[in-house]
Each structure stands twice: as C-alpha cells, then as structure tokens.
Structure 1
Amino acid sequence: MPDRGTTQRWRRTHRRVLAELTQLSAATLPSTEVYDRADALLRPVLGYDGVCWHDSDPATGLVTSVVSPDLRLSDFHAAVELEVWGDDIATFPVIRRSGRAAETLSRATGGRPEQSLRYRDQIRPAGYGDELRAVFDSRGGRWGCAAFMRAPDRGHYRPEELSLANAAAPLIGAALRRSTAGSGTAGRIASNGPAAPAPAVLVVGPDNRVLHADERAEELLGRLSADTAALFGVPLPFVMAAEHARAVAAGRPVPEPPLRVRTTDGGWHALHASLLGRSPRSPVAVVVTPAGPAELIPVTFAAYGFTEREAQVALYAARGLNTAEIAAALLVSPYTVQDHLKAVFDKAGVRSRREFVAMLLTANQADAAASAAVVRPAVSGGQ
C-alpha cells in the first residue's frame, strides 16, 4: 500500500496532467498533434510502453486511422479482423456501452487477461502484459480511441491509473472535437466544384487489396493516403468498411456502413460497402460518395457540442417544424424549445432558423459556422 507521501505526489501529478489536458482540449490542433501532446503527458504517469491512437467516424465510432510511435503496423492486419469479428472483452464498443471512458484488461477479466482472445493472440505475443483502452467521446461524438499496453514487469494497471484515464479521455475527446470544428470542416460537403463529383467505385478482394478501381477511386485513394495503405493496399477506412460489410452479411451485430471519413483536403465522404457473393470472404465493392447534409448532421451536431436535447430540437427545426410542433413532439413547453433553439443558434454561430438550415446545406456557411463554434464559449456544461 502506498504511503501518504506517495499518494499526495500522485494526486498532485493527477491534477497537473488533467490541468494540462484541459488546456489541450481548448486548443485547435490536428488530431496527430493532439495525440503527440497527450502521449507526452500520459506516458510518464500511466506507465505504458506501447500505444495505438485511432481517429474514428464521429457517428458510429468505427476506427478510420491508426497512429502509433511504438507498434509495428504489420501487427495491425490481424487487429482489424479481431476488432470486427472477435467477441472479446473490453473492446471499444463494450467500454462505450458500459458508460465508462476507460477500462483495463486486467480489471475486466478479474486478473485473468488470458481469458481475452486479443490478449492471447496479440498482446502477449507482442511482449505486453496488460492493456488499458480509452474512448475519446465528447458531446455525442465518438472522435477517437486508444489502446495503451505495458510490459509484464510493470504489473497490472492500478485503480488510480485507470481513474486518471477515465478523467483524461473526455478531455482528449474535446480536443479532437475542436480539431474537427476548428478545421472549418465540421459540416463541409465534399465537392470539387459547383456540381458534386460522381461516386467512386473500387473492389477489394478477400485480403482487402484492390482488385479493381475506377479513375475517381484512384484519385480519391491519393487524398486518403495513410501509412496503412502500404500494409493493406488501401487506406484503413476501406478495410473497415469491407470487413463490416462481410460481418453484416454473416449476421454479426456490428454497425453497418456507411462510414464517414475526411480526405486530406478536409472534405467528408461516405463509404458504402456491399459483399459481392455469398461467402463472407467474397470480394467487396466499396462505393464512395461525397457526404451530403443528412450524413453529416450527426458529425456537425457533435462538433458544435449540442446536448442530446438540443440535437433533437435542431433536427426538428431543420425538418421545418415550428416551435409549437417541436414542443408537442418532445412534450415540453414552447418556451423550453425557444431556450434550446437559442443555445443551438449560439453554438452554431447563426441567428435564425433560416441561417441554421442554410448552414447545414451549404459548404461555405458550414465552414464559417464551424470556425465560429470554436471561438464562441459553450453555453452548456460538460465536454
């Protein structure tokens, strides 16, 4: 049991790290820089030896990137299949459903991590002894997640380390949310000109390598370039979309595409995948379309930090319902609806329903409103 001095030093360190992460959550940085700064703060106090950071589709939580200063990307090929197909302990979706922000494999298994398929197939063979996972959710958006591994000689993660991770995760989520809004693309519709480009189509084989791709898909692959392209032959979002399509066809309870992803120029696209055959290992066709307003509404609402009730009111307002109709639908008073609308307009940087709907439908106004959302103070509590 730690002595009083050790406990006090840990508490001071805990407060310092959370204070610096709070400052990070108020900055507007690319996600890669958010991860770099979070790593520098957390590694010394959580005591991990390997970390894998992920961006994710804010609406579904599906992983869309992998960043790791420690792990070999070649090990990630099996990780994708385990993440989609494996019924395992303390996965990212399981942690989210638990209402927690973080969990350790040792705690989730009662000190017997060998019960985990992920531990047996990946963590232990890679030379690690325990894993801590965290989900970076903020204001309704699922902005990213991470897995932190530590060497066996460090022992299992302690309760106070898990407590710190639970407190840190929402702050990192807030930083990633601001990264999306601050880039001016929270609700940006992908477009290369006045008319939206035609869909891009490519077909991946059982190993998720490209079999066929049209010209538009080839061009898009260049704007989704990532380290994982060298491993899989295509960027990770295509692999995740294909594997989820296979899992859906096999009757697995997984989120069904589309998968939302941003290109290097900041535009959002939606990936729709369909299995071309009866076997789960059949080729998969992935159709990529510019993300339209309906597909971006969950991302936009989360980026602006709408509460659940504000998002409901905003959606009804976008559909054209008046105040009385919204009040009747939600079983609240018209005055309550007006209060929620005021908060929605303030966070979105608009002054009226007409401007709000226009913001959702047009790229330029969405960009301006997203930038305004970054500099305006939030009017509701929470990250």
Structure 2
Amino acid sequence: MKFNGRYQRALVQIKRLCYSGLDDRQLRNEIIGLLHPITKSDLCCFQTVDPATGLITSNVREGIHDHAVSDSEHVFFEHLYFEDYLPAYRRLLHSGFPVNRLSDETSGNPGKAYRHRMLYAPIGLDDEIRAVMHAGKNMWGTMVMAREKTASHYSEQDAWLLAKLAPHIGAGFRTAMQQRMAATEPEAAPQNMDIPGLLIYNPGGYIESYTAAAVHWLRELGELHPDWCRKELPVYITQVVSALKRSQSMLSDHDFEIVPELARHGRNGRCITIKAYEMSADEDKDRKIGIILGPAVHRDLIQFQTAAYGLTPQEKAIVHLVAKGNNSAEISAKLSISTHTVQEHLSNIFDKVGVRSRREVVKKIFLANLFEGAKSL
C-alpha cells in the first residue's frame, strides 16, 4: 500500500526509534506520541509481553483515565484477555498480517462483538484496532487502540502502518530486553534476599497476606501503590491469577496452552518469575491462590534467552544438546541431521548470540542474569 506523507513520515521516524537503544517504556511513549496525530485514538494500551506465555508484563496507557476505565481493565484481564485477545494475538502472529480492525470483523458494526459490549460500550468507545509486535516467530508486545463512537472507523492505512511497524517494534522490545540482560552485574543482586516471596490471593479479588520477601520482589519490579493489596494490584499479579483461572476452566482448546506464570526483569536487570497455583481447601469456593515471586532459575531463563536471540526451534534444540556436552556427531545422531547441518546451525547461533564458541554460547544463554555461579565458567 502507498502511504500518504504523514503516514510515511511516521513510519520512518518510528522505525528509527526502534533501533535507537531506548528501553521499552521510553520506546512505547515515543511511538504513542508519533502515532496519536495520525490515528486520533481516544484510548491506547501498549503492552510488552512474555514471549514464552503471551502474558502481559507491563502496560503503557494513554487517553481516557478514570474509574470507568479501571473497571473495564478488570473485565479485560478477568475475562476477555484469555477468551478473546490472547487467542487472537496468536492467530495474528502466524497469519502474515499481525493487525486486525474490529470494524472489519463485524462488517462495519462493532457493536455486534462481545468485547465491544463488555469493554468499549460502557466507556463510550466504538471501533478498535489491535496489533502484535513480533520478532521472528515470537510475540514481544501488543497494541490496542480505540475510538469514540462519533469518530470514523480505523482505516486500511492505519492497519497497514501498524503491520509495517510491528516487526521493527518487536525487534526494539527484544533489543531492550537484551540490553537489560547485558547490563546486569552479579554484584547487583542482594546477597541476603534470594528466597522466594509468597502472596495469598483471596477469591474476592485482593491480597489477604504476604511475606516480607514478596514485598521485596514486588518493589524490585516497580513502584507499589499504597493500596496495592486491594485496589491497585500490579498488572502481572492480575495476569497470573487470571491465567490460572482460565487454564483450569478448560472452556476451549486455547486454555490448554495457558501457563499461569511469567517472567519480568527487575530494576537491576535481574529476571524474576511470578507463578500462581491453587491452594488446597475443604471446599472449592474457599480455595485461595498462592503466588510465588523470586529470582529466576536456569529453566525459567532459557526460554527468555533463546527468544531474545531469535533462535529457531532447531537452533534451540542444538543449544540444549551443546549445554549437555554433546559433540557435533552426537547432535547429528539425536536430531537426525547431518554434521554439516549441525555446523551451519552452530554458525548461525554464534552470529545471533554474538559469540565465537560453544562454551560462550552456553555461558551467555544459560548463565546470563544468574548471579550464583555466573563467574564460574
């Protein structure tokens, strides 16, 4: 599609921003500022996601800021994200065109959509456009924009602009994560606080108790609202709780793919995992949810590291075998590929990770951000 002058300028400016070394929050704020004069959106939610699970790790919101939006966000995380948005994002990721418009889905009548009635109509919004920010085959972020009913629907140019930008923004998010990993120093980890923390989530929608270690990790992940236990739960807590509920409901095939855990990088760059599980109780209705927060271990980080470097499934398999000490002939036999193909894959892995040897690959992928033993290789 041929863009007009404003769209073309925004495309060039945003593409440059994606490779300017900004952290993901700065990048999102800058992009929203450049898109707003063109898209004229009344609400924009721009998220980073865990590439392993698709769960939202942080959200930048611009536009409507009031109590009604907070209520809509509860509906979004509690019901719509796993029922509608996450399956749609996965389809878009593999469709070849990572953007869709609500007006297209509903033949020009957004009010026919369930998410319109649940999410947008109550706050006076109408049409929506959403996009997946990807790098390779991994989803690194999502964007949702909506307009008031009095505005025109999003145009084909709007959709094509976001589609053109999606891989560059995804690459920008991935680079931001790599920079955080590279900047992390082992000495930055608090030596006396490696124990996991525990939150107890009440089915009524609030945290009823917590450990001191949990508060430590929450603060490492960002500022805490004074009423964070009840009215201002961090978005990643809401995400894992909703993921657990949805994974247990098994209402659709997509529910089998939902994992109630995610990983985020803290302020000092360290990777922190958040995991939810159902606690035992005499009656189902009394069951509370336990949420564990703590430093990531090897198995938690591997998916992040391989996604960050854009490794293919075959390259990931080879990296795992290399880490176990297999030589090229053994890898060849186990994967049923030639030794020449193994060497080609290793060469590609070295280029992507930025190393020159198998030893360096193992160190960078398996030990990056792990403070215990990180200097032993």
Give me the TM-score of the superposition, normalised by structure 2.
0.85
- The 2-side partners of 1:187 and 1:245 are apart by 31
Check conservation: 1:57, 1:259, Cα contact below 8 A: yes
**What are the within-5 Å matches in structure 2 for residues 193-342 of structure 1?**
197-226=194-223, 230=228, 232-252=231-251, 253=255, 254-276=257-279, 277=281, 279=284, 282-342=287-347
- The 2-side partners of 1:106 and 1:22 are apart by 27
- What is the one-letter code of the residue matched to 1:121? M
Residues 331/85 of structure 1: CA separation in 2 closer, same or farther (3 Å cut)? closer
**Which residue pairs with 1:82 in the alignment?**
79
**What are the within-5 Å matches in structure 2 for residues 342-357 of structure 1?**
342-357=347-362
- The 1-side partners of 2:137 and 2:185 are apart by 19
Residues 51/198 of structure 1: CA separation in 2 closer, same or farther (3 Å cut)? same
- The 2-side partners of 1:59 and 1:169 are apart by 18
- The 2-side partners of 1:360 and 1:218 are apart by 29
- What is the one-letter code of the residue matched to 1:322? N
In terms of mean alpha carbon deviation, does 257-266 or 230-239 score higher? 230-239
**Which residue pairs with 1:375 in the alignment?**
none
Alignment of 1:141 onto 2:116: no
Check conservation: 1:132, 1:157, Cα contact below 8 A: yes
- What is the one-letter code of the residue matched to 2:211? D
- What is the one-letter code of the residue matched to 1:273? A
Deviation at 1:348, TM superposition (A): 1.7
**Which residue pairs with 1:157 in the alignment?**
154
Deviation at 1:326, TM superposition (A): 2.4
Check conservation: 1:201, 1:213, Cα contact below 8 A: yes
Counterpart among 16, 28, 36 of residue 29 in structure 2: 36
- The 1-side partners of 2:87 and 2:148 are apart by 19
**Which residue pairs with 2:171 in the alignment?**
174
What is the SS of the residue equivalent to 1:51? strand
How many equivalent pairs are there?
360
- What is the one-letter code of the residue matched to 1:239? T
- The 2-side partners of 1:335 and 1:269 are apart by 38
Deviation at 1:241, TM superposition (A): 0.8
More strand, by proportion: 2
Counterpart among 103, 120, 123 of residue 100 in structure 2: 103
- What is the one-letter code of the residue matched to 1:258? E
**What are the within-5 Å matches in structure 2 for residues 123-142 of structure 1?**
123-142=120-139
**Which residue pairs with 1:60 in the alignment?**
53
- The 1-side partners of 2:355 and 2:81 are apart by 40
- What is the one-letter code of the residue matched to 2:109? R
Check conservation: 1:189, 1:293, Cα contact below 8 A: no
Check conservation: 1:199, 1:290, Cα contact below 8 A: yes
Check conservation: 2:189, 2:270, Cα contact below 8 A: no
Q: Deviations over 1:22-64 (max 9, x none)?
A: 2122121111111112112222223322201112112111112
Residues 339/245 of structure 1: CA separation in 2 closer, same or farther (3 Å cut)? same
In terms of mean alpha carbon deviation, does 212-221 or 148-157 score higher? 148-157
What is the SS of the residue equivalent to 2:292? strand
What is the SS of the residue equivalent to 2:205? coil
- The 2-side partners of 1:184 and 1:139 are apart by 20
Residues 312/111 of structure 1: CA separation in 2 closer, same or farther (3 Å cut)? farther
- What is the one-letter code of the residue matched to 1:221? L
Deviation at 1:273, TM superposition (A): 1.0
What is the SS of the residue equivalent to 1:65? strand
Residues 245/365 of structure 1: CA separation in 2 closer, same or farther (3 Å cut)? closer
Using the aligned pairs only, state the percent identity. Answer: 28
Unaligned stretches of 5+ in structure 2? none
- The 1-side partners of 2:11 and 2:304 are apart by 26
- What is the one-letter code of the residue matched to 1:200? G
Deviation at 1:85, TM superposition (A): 5.2
Check conservation: 1:187, 1:297, Cα contact below 8 A: no
Give me the TM-score of the superposition, normalised by structure 1.
0.83
What is the SS of the residue equivalent to 1:169? helix
Check conservation: 2:93, 2:137, Cα contact below 8 A: no
Residues 23/148 of structure 1: CA separation in 2 closer, same or farther (3 Å cut)? same
What is the SS of the residue equivalent to 1:45? helix
Check conservation: 2:89, 2:132, Cα contact below 8 A: yes
Residues 339/297 of structure 1: CA separation in 2 closer, same or farther (3 Å cut)? same
What is the SS of the residue equivalent to 1:265? coil
Check conservation: 1:201, 1:287, Cα contact below 8 A: yes
